[in-house]
Amino acid sequence: MSEIAEFTRHLGNYLAPPEVALVERAFQFSESAHRGQFRKSGEPYITHPLAVASILSQWRLDAHGLAAALLHDVMEDTTVTKAEIEASFGKPVADMVDGVSKLDQIEFTTREEAQAENFRKMLLAMAKDVRVILIKLADRLHNMRTLDAMARAHRRRIAHETVDIYAPIANRLGLNALYLELQDLAFKHLYPMRYRVLAGAIKAARGNRREVMNRLLDAIREGFAKAAIPAHVSGREKTIFSVYKKMREKRYTFSQVFDIYGVRVLVADATDCYAALGILHSLYKPIPGKFKDYIAIAKANGYQSLHTTLFGPFGTPLEAQIRTHDMHRIAEAGVAAHWLYKSGGEFDIREAQQETHRWVQSLLEIQSESRDSKEFLDSIKVDLFPEEIYVFTPKGKIMALPRGATAVDFAYAVHTDIGHHCVAARINYEQLPLRSELKNGDQIEIMTAPTARPNPSWLQFVATGKARSRIRHFLKGLQQKESAALGERMLEQALATLKVDPDSITWDRWEALQKEFGARSQLEILADIGLGKRLSFAVAQALTRSAGKAGDEPRNGGATAGKAPPLTLRGVEGVAIQYARCCRPVPGDTLVGQFRKGQGLLVHTRDCITLKKQRVDPDQLIDVEWANDAQGVFDAGIRLLVADRRGLLADVATAIADAGGNIDNVSMERPDGGEVLAMFFSVQVKDRRHLAHVIRSVKRVPDVRRIQRART
């Protein structure tokens, strides 16, 4: 392949011959593993890992990182194991490949849960080695560049994930060029028509702007030449997505957005940056309130620059960025600058590296406290904030927080204990409520009290993932302890009813019960009793059963109208059961139970639309399974559209009866007042197969145009 020859020639510019040989060996290993596999576009699969490694070579990633990039899909898509990779290329490469690989061997109930768990795994690997996320970002970039070969639904899903998670991560790591390209590619696949229209408009406008832009650049270069300050001055092009975003946010027309010109000035050192600012302000008047100094106060991702907006010629706004050449390298490559320029030793990015490490550690702390995948992913998305404000501690330390952050967010950013015990805040020496929103440059002092503790109402206004996860974790722990104390008293009463001494229950029996119920601890079972998720009497019965009779469980009672079949509920024996009228579950449907305090368990189908609309707290839901010997009759609904005629109702009723179904209720209406009649039958069936038999029988009746199972 000519591509690999070109690739290895480029590697020779910065890697030693033994390192290039290692990368070539990884390519041959990957090509052999993927042989016979093709991408959706029809290209051999090896073209993808080679393209990913090529992107990373532009950041001058080391040989081990490039080898891992070439091998990043072999564990996921072939029979190659981590042990084989480790034997051939060493543990660091194997760990990176494992960190990038998805958790395909685990089955998840929802795509969101899979996304969260895969991100959680990648995060753990990233904490050990930041190259993992660089490989993942390069992988995502190439996938986005070649996304046209995928089906429309897949394109939209991948584009959404890119704009929600991967583009913000690239921004958070300071990979500006990558961040902008990912945004543009995601926009192209999410809104193809808007993308084409804007791309055409930008292309047309670019020709008209060229003369004005050239005159602007010449005037600025002349100003720097007169001041004898060496500077590289260039125009800045707006990306398609940035134009669209500004039009949406500011309610601007295309011409208003595109009439803003952008220039970038690169100079030798920080002193020249401020001198350059003075020259620009002498050439064109600055617009008040439009100056930002990211050199004195760098962004959390290491970005440094001076930003100013000027009244340009012909009344057109002119946005200028002024930075050193070293600052520009960090602005474009972020944490990758560590590899990109480490050989030259030209500048130090240790602070940006440390900030990235602190950020990853904070994400790890969030994931360790979040049992629920959706909650974890929401916290991560909150933390991938695109804009920051900079505030000061009483000692003058600068802290970066997301726009919209409050005094509570600041308290948790300083230390978890300060957040837990905060009672008030002094902002710029004025005492203000904890919910007060912070502004750039505020100085904050937090007052605490030993007896104070987090308030659930704080969750309504905090803006950082760290504060949100810490508050939730504390409240859950507090609730669990209080609930467990109540549950313990209730269990003791239930054991007394059975004439059993609580002290006679051995630890072995508790351990067996934990395994049986799928609980993590005795505390969790007791808390579930206190919260009403388990019946104390049922737990008492389970504890007093001998281990050899663990299968002789009492069946669930108290269900509707004597028609309840036996169910297997994980650790909730004896609960009163009702079947939801909104989805009418029958044996064969996958189920979920909604616990309602004082009313027992309401059983829904897992895909119940009504349950999803209610946005029920996941803690209120438990897994429910039909018993193998489930028997009885169950209410189900079928809806028909028919051409009205005499005797049709009798024919449909006969078809249902012939299939062994029993009609419980029937209703009819004319949707448009015409010949078509909508009919709804509530029928009693044994299970899904029986219901399907009834539907097939009715389908054969003349003039039945459409029939389907009705959930409501």
The H or E element containing residue 171 is: helix 167-172
CA distance 453 to 610: 36
Catalytic residue from among 24, 31, 76, 445: 76
Burial readout 466-488 (b: 16 or more C-beta within 10 A, e: otherwise): bbbbbbbbbbeeeebeebbebbb
- Measured CA to CA in angstroms, residue 189 lies from 165, 176, 292 at distances of 16, 20, 34
DSSP one-letter code for 109: S
> Which residue matches tokens 């970066």?
400
Q: Residue type for 348, please?
A: D
Half-sphere exposure of residue 257: CA atoms within 13 angstroms, side-chain side: 21
Residue-by-residue DSSP string for 313-339: GGG-EEEEEEEEHHHHHHHHHGGGHHH
Q: Is 428 helix (H, G, I), strand (E, B) or coil?
A: coil
Catalytic residue from among 31, 77, 375, 619: 77
Phi-psi label, residue 660: left if phi above 0, alpha if psi -120 to 50, beta otherwise: left
- Measured CA to CA in angstroms, residue 108 lies from 115, 118, 301, 368, 381 at distances of 9, 11, 34, 19, 21
445 is catalytic: no
76 is catalytic: yes
Q: Which of 168, 437, 227, 214 is nearest to 313 (CA)?
A: 214
Whether the Cβ atoms of residue 408 and residue 459 lie closer than 8 Å to each other: no
Burial readout 515-530 (b: 16 or more C-beta within 10 A, e: otherwise): eebebeebebbbbbbb
Q: Which residues are catalytic?
A: 76-77
